[in-house]
Amino acid sequence: MRGHGELAEADARNAMSMTERDWFKSSYSGSEGDNCVEVAIRPHAVHIRDSKDTDTGQLAIPHAAWAAFVAQL
């Protein structure tokens, strides 16, 4: 089993290699483009970023946390 440091390093490499194809926005997002997030599912985490400002960074969370969040919607 890998430690947290190794997972963080793997996620950093994955984040750097993501292409625009990897990101998706909910079909429920309005056509106005405001208040939306984009999501990229990666092997070690789910990455989330602001769709209006994609260069400001991203949040990476474990798959289980994402599943719990989506289950509450």
Secondary structure of the chain as H, E, C letters: CCCHHHHHHHHHHHHHHCCHHHCEECCCCCCCCCCCEEEEECCCCEEEEECCCCCCCCEEECHHHHHHHHHCC
Domain of residue 24, residue span:
4-71
Residue found by looking up tokens 């989506």 in the block? 70
Structurally, the chain folds into a number of domains equal to: 1
Contact 37, 51 (CB under 8 A): yes
Contact 36, 25 (CB under 8 A): yes
Q: pLDDT tens digits for 45-62?
A: 999 988 888 888 899 999
**In order along the chain (73 residues), what is the average pLDDT of each group of 10 residues?**
49 57 76 77 91 87 94 88
Q: What is the pTM of this model?
A: 0.66
% of the chain exceeding 70 in pLDDT:
62
